[in-house]
């Protein structure tokens, strides 16, 4: 084996191991540390440092990184949501984005909503740094947005106050009891006939992807595996009175966009 090949393999292994350690420290590792220190009681205890520390937010929120984490399906998933919003009747209505997300989903959702006639897009997050960071992405659509410090599991919005609600890769990070509360709140604030657009992980069809995903969740995202069975969002949503769902999957069923419609009055 040539020296340059050995050096290349060693370098790749070191980079991958360092990256994995970095993300573990700032995701599940942080939760384990908080649990050991008895710091899992406040509302934002489940939020990883990678989503709350502004320096880390700026470091990680780079489109190529975010796309790679979602196996380069990010754009496709956002396009499904944006396409739905563009075909919704949002004239003079309000749209809610429940929790900020990395990448360009926020500007694309805002653009689609405004072009469909929305009067305002409300962006709600429990972390102020996320809201401050989201402000930097809106550009020409900043005048159409309102930023709210709010909790996805106990929203301060009135009942039936928004026509569409977008929740992008939040559910898998919530403890299981909060998953149910977040979905209840998401549907509560929807007006009759309104739609929830939910982007999330899904149980892969391929056994190889399923094994890799299972390993990923076990190591980095301890709350995510429940989406495969006990807390499948479609099952949770369809159990609510007057809610119908359609599910769109991508990349061998590894990802999903769920569109849940609240029955018209």
Residue range 144-182, pLDDT digits in tens: 999 999 999 999 999 999 999 999 999 999 999 999 999
* pLDDT tier for residue 264 given thresholds of 50, 70 and 90: very high
- Reported as a single tens digit per residue, the pLDDT across 1-15 is 567 766 776 676 666
Comparing 69-78, 113-122, 212-221, the range with the smallest average pLDDT is 212-221
Q: Is residue 31 part of a domain?
A: no
Residue 224 CB contacts under 8 Å (≥ 6 apart), including other chains: 172, 173, 201, 217
Q: Is residue 52 part of a domain?
A: no
Q: What CATH number has the domain bearing residue 70? A: 3.40.50.150
Q: Is residue 218 part of a domain?
A: yes
Instruction: For residue 174, list its beta bridge partners.
Output: none
* pLDDT tier for residue 207 given thresholds of 50, 70 and 90: very high
In contact, 206 and 236? CB cutoff 8 Å? no
Q: Is residue 156 part of a domain?
A: yes
pTM for this structure?
0.92
Q: How many residues does the chain have?
A: 265
% pLDDT > 70, the chain:
93
Q: Is residue 41 part of a domain?
A: no
Q: Averaged over 92-107, what is the pLDDT? A: 97
Domain limits for position 257: 63-262
Q: What's the total number of domains in the chain?
A: 1
- Find, among 222, 210, 139, the residue nearest to 173 by Cα: 222
Dist. CA 67–CA 102, nearest whole Å: 10
Dist. CA 184–CA 244, nearest whole Å: 14
Q: Averaged over 107-118, what is the pLDDT? A: 97
In contact, 168 and 101? CB cutoff 8 Å? yes
pLDDT of 206 over the 60 cut: yes
CA 148 to chain CA centroid, nearest Å: 17
Q: What is the mean pLDDT of the chain?
A: 91
* pLDDT tier for residue 91 given thresholds of 50, 70 and 90: very high
- Reported as a single tens digit per residue, the pLDDT across 10-56 is 676 666 677 777 777 777 777 777 777 776 666 777 778 888 899 99
Q: Averaged over 180-200, what is the pLDDT? A: 98
Q: Is residue 91 part of a domain?
A: yes
Q: Is residue 140 part of a domain?
A: yes
Q: Is residue 227 part of a domain?
A: yes
% pLDDT > 90, the chain:
74
């Amino acid at each position: 084996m040539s020296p340059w090949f050995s050096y290349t393999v060693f370098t790749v292994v070191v980079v991958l191991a360092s990256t994995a350690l970095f993300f573990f420290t700032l995701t599940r590792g942080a939760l384990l540390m908080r649990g050991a220190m008895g710091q899992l009681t406040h509302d934002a205890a489940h939020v990883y440092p990678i989503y709350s520390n502004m320096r880390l937010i700026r470091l990680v929120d780079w489109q190529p990184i975010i796309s790679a984490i979602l196996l380069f399906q990010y754009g496709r998933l956002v396009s499904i949501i944006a396409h739905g919003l563009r075909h919704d009747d949002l004239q003079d209505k309000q749209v809610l984005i429940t929790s900020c997300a990395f990448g360009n989903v926020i500007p694309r959702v805002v653009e689609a909503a405004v072009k469909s006639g929305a009067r305002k897009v409300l962006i709600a997050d429990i972390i102020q740094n996320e809201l401050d960071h989201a402000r930097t992405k809106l550009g020409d659509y900043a005048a159409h947005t309102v930023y709210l410090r709010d909790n996805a599991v106990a929203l301060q919005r009135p009942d039936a106050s928004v026509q569409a609600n977008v929740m992008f890769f939040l559910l898998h990070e919530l403890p299981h009891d909060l998953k149910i509360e977040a979905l209840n709140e998401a549907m509560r604030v929807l007006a009759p006939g309104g739609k929830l657009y939910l982007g999330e992980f899904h149980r892969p069809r391929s056994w190889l992807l399923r094994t890799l995903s299972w390993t990923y969740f076990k190591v980095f995202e301890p709350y995510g595996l429940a989406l495969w069975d006990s807390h499948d969002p479609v099952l949770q949503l369809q159990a609510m009175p007057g809610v119908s769902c359609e599910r769109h999957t991508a990349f061998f069923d590894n990802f999903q966009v769920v569109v849940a419609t609240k029955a018209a009055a």
